[in-house]
């Protein structure tokens, strides 16, 4: 069963409202809603902000019977030419706040862990198709590439540029790579969709709350395209 996870209430509210025959359950510490979304049986949950919360929720959802996981949330764009409202489909994720460079490791890499965690190719292809289908309505951009996560709200153009240059990341957020690490360890296929609420610069603290609701609605519409796609052709 597919689990759909977001960090904050606004990121999960639209999908939860659209859930039919919802049943509330607990998976360890996590409140989970189970039901049908656009005709597909799913688990929905909100993990809270940050990497530890993302990893814990991923583990809890796996224990509750999730066999694949789709993370949807907002992010700050760090690549040139991006605009608030653009969509980002992750191909792989890094933890930009990991620093073991004093012991000779590359920035972002932990001992025994890969340099980045790759998303599931089939889910990601399906997610990209869904994002393009939604973007076709109003001509917004869809970017596909690396996402950088850390326990930092980035609101500085130089810091954003450094994360883009240092990691080749398209956007910065606070949960994705932790979800990716946990899901990879558990052997659970996953994909990550982000909508840009800000561009991680000096305006981010104002832009993030201003564009959160619109970005969340946009992602719920991408999720609808994802779930309504021909399920006989591409497995969840």
Give the start-end residues of each E strand in the chain.
2-6, 20-27, 30-37, 40-46, 68-77, 87-95, 117-118, 142-149, 169-173, 190-198
Do residues 207 and 84 touch, judged by C-beta distance below 8 A? yes
* 221 classed as catalytic: no
Q: Which residue has the tokens 């990893």?
A: 55
* 198 classed as catalytic: yes
Q: How far is the CB of 194 from ligand SAH (least distance, A)?
A: 8
Name the nearest CA neighbour of 5 among 165, 132, 180.
180
Residues at the interface with ligand SAH (CB under 6 A): 7-8, 49, 73-76, 153-154, 172-175, 197-198, 200, 204, 208
Q: How far is the CB of 124 from ligand SAH (least distance, A)?
A: 19
Nearest position to ligand SAH, beta carbon = 76
Catalytic residue among 198, 201, 207, 224: 198
2 bridge partner residues: 42, 68
Q: How far is the CB of 212 from ligand SAH (least distance, A)?
A: 8
Q: What distance in Å separates the CA atoms of residue 193 and residue 131, rounded to the nearest whole number?
A: 9
Q: How far is the CB of 76 from ligand SAH (least distance, A)?
A: 3
Residues in the chain: 236
Active site residues: 11, 198
């Amino acid at each position: 069963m597919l689990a759909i996870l977001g960090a904050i209430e606004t990121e999960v509210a639209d999908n939860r409202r659209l859930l039919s025959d919802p049943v509330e359950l607990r998976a360890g510490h996590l409140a989970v809603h189970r039901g049908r979304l656009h005709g597909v049986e799913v688990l929905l949950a909100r993990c809270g902000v940050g990497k530890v919360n993302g990893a814990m929720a991923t583990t809890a959802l796996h224990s509750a019977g999730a066999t694949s996981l789709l993370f949807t949330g907002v992010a700050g764009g760090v690549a040139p030419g991006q605009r608030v409202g653009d969509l980002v489909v992750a191909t792989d994720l890094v933890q930009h706040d990991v620093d073991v460079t004093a012991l000779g490791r590359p920035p972002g890499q932990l001992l025994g862990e890969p340099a980045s965690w790759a998303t599931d190719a089939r889910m990601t292809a399906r997610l990209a198709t869904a994002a393009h289908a939604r973007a076709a309505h109003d001509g917004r951009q869809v970017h596909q590439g690396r996402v950088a996560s850390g326990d930092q709200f980035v609101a500085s153009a130089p810091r954003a540029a450094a994360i883009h240059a240092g990691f080749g990341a398209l956007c910065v957020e606070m949960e994705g790579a932790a979800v990716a690490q946990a899901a990879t360890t558990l052997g659970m296929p996953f994909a990550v969709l982000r909508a840009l609420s800000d561009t991680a610069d000096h305006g981010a603290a104002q832009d993030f709350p201003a564009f959160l609701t619109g970005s969340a609605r946009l992602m719920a519409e991408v999720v609808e395209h994802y779930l309504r796609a021909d399920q006989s052709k591409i497995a969840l």
